[in-house]
């Protein structure tokens, strides 16, 4: 049966009041339902800072050099008639390297010997006559002077003749011949070749003046300990291999180089196989230096921001804070923190992406033994340089 307009209006009002009642009922139930619980603080691994004594590694680029180098020059003029040595081979002291045409010098030497023999005989004859007063003393004196002059001439011509044999003055490796057979030597100004001694071999390296100042400051403040013995030196070759011989620091210059502002240091190594050659570049590492009170943290714990390096630390009530630090160097997964941390600080290692300053965290102890990237004790290093004169070796190795 169709409803009248009045009946339809009444039914609509009843429906509206029913819907409003349901809404009020649902709102009441919502008010009585408990709010959801806040999530627990995120779990992070923390390292409790404990200073330790570590090995400090000081590295520089070095260049190998011969421990002795002699330029081979002739003392006489003439044409080269022989070169019996093989270029680039080891020669012993006294080995004949070049022969200069000896004809003129040999003739002069024989002539001087003849004059010397005649002067000797004349002097002996006059001395016998002087004993019998047959001649004056002046005659004997003149004969003695003639003998002395003949002796000096013979000695000089002998030296000139022997100088036609150009020999090695030291044992070492002979270089390339700079004058060939048939070339004329005009005197000592002509370089014939060089002989270099590479066993032992030197390695030169030069820290900067800033490194020198840092070295002295760290020693004065006991932040760096230098061994009482001569400093040992290790060399790493260009292919990454370690040179088998450990050298010793044997020279520290007295002043900085004015052009480069660096201090010249030198180490000496045994080199029987001639692995190190003059002019070869290597990495030089000073051994035996210790850094007490060093603070090491895993590399990933140190963050980088606009203001520099910083770490997250867990403080009182497990509240997280940011701490600016100065990280000087790193190796094998750890940073050496020079400023910003002290003993007992709890540094966040893992979980930094889940925290923010001012919020709480749940700290869990960091276990280095379970971290393959963690540095072992004593492995971290500071790339710096010596400046205060270390003890150097004064005797043979």
- Is the same domain home to 358 and 317? yes
- 28 C-beta neighbours (distance < 10 Å), count: 9
CB 57 within 8 A of CB 161: no
CB 337 within 8 A of CB 327: yes
How many structural domains compose the chain? 3
- Is the same domain home to 215 and 246? yes
- Is the same domain home to 211 and 274? yes
Confidence at residue 2, expressed as pLDDT on a 0 to 100 scale: 52
**CA 45 to CA 350: how far, in whole Å?**
5
CB 179 within 8 A of CB 189: no
CB 388 within 8 A of CB 225: no
- Is the same domain home to 221 and 303? no
Asked if the structure places residue 332 within a domain, the reply is yes
For the entire predicted model, the pTM comes to 0.71
- Is the same domain home to 216 and 285? yes
> Measuring CA to CA, which residue among 395, 326, 390, 314 is closest to residue 351?
314
Which CATH number belongs to the domain containing residue 122 in this structure?
Answer: 1.10.287.470
Q: Would you give the DSSP letter of residue 189?
A: T
Asked if the structure places residue 384 within a domain, the reply is no
Residue 113: domain span: 102-163
**CA 250 to CA 115: how far, in whole Å?**
54
- Is the same domain home to 202 and 285? yes
Residue that finishes a domain, picked among 260, 289, 318: 289
Which CATH number belongs to the domain containing residue 362 in this structure?
Answer: 2.40.420.20
Q: Would you state the structure tokens that stand for residue 180, as one six-digit string?
A: 């060939």
Asked if the structure places residue 230 within a domain, the reply is yes
CB 72 within 8 A of CB 97: yes
Asked if the structure places residue 347 within a domain, the reply is yes
Q: What is the pLDDT along the chain (397 residues), one digit of tens a residue?
A: 455 555 555 545 545 555 455 554 445 544 555 656 778 889 999 999 999 888 887 899 999 999 999 999 999 999 999 999 999 999 999 999 999 999 999 999 999 999 999 999 998 888 888 777 777 888 888 889 999 999 999 999 999 999 999 999 999 999 999 999 999 999 899 999 999 999 999 999 999 988 888 888 988 988 888 888 889 999 999 999 999 999 999 999 988 888 888 999 999 999 999 999 999 999 999 998 998 988 999 999 999 988 899 999 999 889 999 999 998 877 667 888 988 999 999 999 999 899 899 999 999 999 887 676 665 444 444 333 333 444 444 333 3
Which CATH number belongs to the domain containing residue 212 in this structure?
Answer: 2.40.30.170
Asked if the structure places residue 2 within a domain, the reply is no
- Is the same domain home to 246 and 309? no
> Measuring CA to CA, which residue among 287, 245, 312, 262 is closest to residue 381?
287
- Is the same domain home to 236 and 266? yes
- Is the same domain home to 285 and 302? no
Asked if the structure places residue 330 within a domain, the reply is yes
- Is the same domain home to 262 and 300? no
- Is the same domain home to 284 and 300? no
Confidence at residue 26, expressed as pLDDT on a 0 to 100 scale: 47
Q: Would you give the DSSP letter of residue 14?
A: H
Asked if the structure places residue 325 within a domain, the reply is yes
Asked if the structure places residue 209 within a domain, the reply is yes
Residue that finishes a domain, picked among 110, 144, 163: 163
Confidence at residue 380, expressed as pLDDT on a 0 to 100 scale: 41
Confidence at residue 382, expressed as pLDDT on a 0 to 100 scale: 39
**CA 165 to CA 81: how far, in whole Å?**
10
- Is the same domain home to 225 and 277? yes
Confidence at residue 187, expressed as pLDDT on a 0 to 100 scale: 86
């Amino acid at each position: 049966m169709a409803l009248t307009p009045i009946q339809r209006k009444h039914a609509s009002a009843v429906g509206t009041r029913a819907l409003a009642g349901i809404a009020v009922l649902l709102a009441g139930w919502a008010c009585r339902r408990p709010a959801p619980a806040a999530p627990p603080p995120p779990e992070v691994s923390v390292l409790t800072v404990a200073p330790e004594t570590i090995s400090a590694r000081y590295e520089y680029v070095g260049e190998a050099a011969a421990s002795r180098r002699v330029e081979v020059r002739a003392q006489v003029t003439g044409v080269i008639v022989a070169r019996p040595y093989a270029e680039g081979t080891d020669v012993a002291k006294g080995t004949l390297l070049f022969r200069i045409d000896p004809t003129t010098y040999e003739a002069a030497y024989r002539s001087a010997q003849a004059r010397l023999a005649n002067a000797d005989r004349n002097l002996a004859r006059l001395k016998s006559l002087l004993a019998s007063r047959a001649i004056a003393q002046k005659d004997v004196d003149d004969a003695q002077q003639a003998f002395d002059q003949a002796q000096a001439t013979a000695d000089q011509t002998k030296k000139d003749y022997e100088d036609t044999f150009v020999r090695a003055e030291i044992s070492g490796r002979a270089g390339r011949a700079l004058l060939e057979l048939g070339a004329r030597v005009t005197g000592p100004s002509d370089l014939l070749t060089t002989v270099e001694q590479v066993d032992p071999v030197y390695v030169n390296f030069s820290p900067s003046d800033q490194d020198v100042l840092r070295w002295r400051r760290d020693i004065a403040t006991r932040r760096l300990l230098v061994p009482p013995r001569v400093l040992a030196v290790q060399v790493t070759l260009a292919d990454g291999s370690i040179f088998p011989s450990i050298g010793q620091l044997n020279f520290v210059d007295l002043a900085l180089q004015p052009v480069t502002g660096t201090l010249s240091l030198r180490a000496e190594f045994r080199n029987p196989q001639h692995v190190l050659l003059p002019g070869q570049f290597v990495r030089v590492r000073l051994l035996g230096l210790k850094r007490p009170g060093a603070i090491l943290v895993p590399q990933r714990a140190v963050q980088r921001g606009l203001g520099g390096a910083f770490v997250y630390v867990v403080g009182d009530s497990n509240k997280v804070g940011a701490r600016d630090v100065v990280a000087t160097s790193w190796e094998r997964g750890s940073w050496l923190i020079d400023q910003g941390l002290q003993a007992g600080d709890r540094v966040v290692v893992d979980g930094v992406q889940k925290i923010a300053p001012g919020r709480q965290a749940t700290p869990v102890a960091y276990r280095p033994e379970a971290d393959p990237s963690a540095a072992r004790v004593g492995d971290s290093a500071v790339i710096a340089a010596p400046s205060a004169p270390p003890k150097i070796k004064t005797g043979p190795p």
